[in-house]
Amino acid sequence: MTDETGKPRKKTEAGSIDLKLLEILVCPVTRGPLEYDAAAGELISRKAGLAYPIRNGIPIMLEDEARAIED
């Protein structure tokens, strides 16, 4: 993840995630894969059209808390 200047963007503690956890996480609704958007601090499920927030480093893998996204 880089910004306009090409330098690595500094990850915020709040939205960062343990990579070891990311290996095994799937979307709780579709059980499909998740994309990690480090800039937004979200885990995105394309299939479900949902973005799960990461708060204080803790992914909130609940459908009720996820943001609906359009493709």
Q: Could you identify the residue written with the tokens 């910004």?
A: 3
User: What contacts 64, CB < 8 A, 6 or more positions away?
Assistant: none
User: Helix or strand or coil: residue 35?
Assistant: strand
Q: Does 61 bind another protein (CB under 8 A)?
A: yes
Q: Could you identify the residue written with the tokens 């299939």?
A: 47
Among 18, 39, 40, 47, binds another protein (CB under 8 A): 18
Least CB distance from residue 3 to another protein, whole Å?
27
Q: Supply the DSSP symbol for 6.
A: S
Q: Does 20 bind another protein (CB under 8 A)?
A: yes
Q: Does 58 bind another protein (CB under 8 A)?
A: yes
Q: Does 38 bind another protein (CB under 8 A)?
A: no
Task: Kindly report the length of the chain.
Answer: 71
Point out which residues bind another protein (CB under 8 A). 18, 20-21, 24-29, 31, 57-65
